[in-house]
Amino acid sequence: MTLFDLLILLLVAGICGALGQAISGYSRGGCLVSIALGFVGAVLGVWLARALALPELLPVRVGTTAFPIVWSIIGSALFVAVIALLTRRR
């Protein structure tokens, strides 16, 4: 994986994380938080899809790495919703 591939992968993860935050309606943090949510959402979404025997939808291939767009957005939305339920607003 080259540096350019890594930057593209970070950009895609950031967009997926931001979309997950927008879907759940709870936004905490900026660009780095969105990137982290995109990667956590990808792991959570792929795990959930494999547990339910669902196909991989819309994978984006960056270099040799396939990044699951739909499962990343769904996983990050679920993760952000759980975080929103666990934290209280003052």
The secondary structure element, H or E, covering residue 61 is: strand 59-62
How many helices and strands in the chain, by DSSP H and E? 3, 2
What is the C-alpha separation between 78 and 43, in angstroms, rounded? 12
Residues 59, 61, 66, CA angle at the centre, nearest 5°?
65
Dihedral sign, Cα of residue 29, residue 68, residue 85, residue 83 = negative
| Region 45-67 average pLDDT | 87
Q: Where are the domains of the chain?
A: 3-86
The amino acid sitting at 80 is V
Q: At what angle do helices 3-24 and 69-86 cross, to 10 degrees?
A: 50
| Region 19-29 average pLDDT | 85
| Region 26-55 average pLDDT | 87
Confirm whether pTM is higher than 0.95.
Answer: no
Q: Is the pLDDT of residue 38 over 80?
A: yes
Structure tokens at 64: 């040799």
* pLDDT (0 to 100) of residue 52: 92
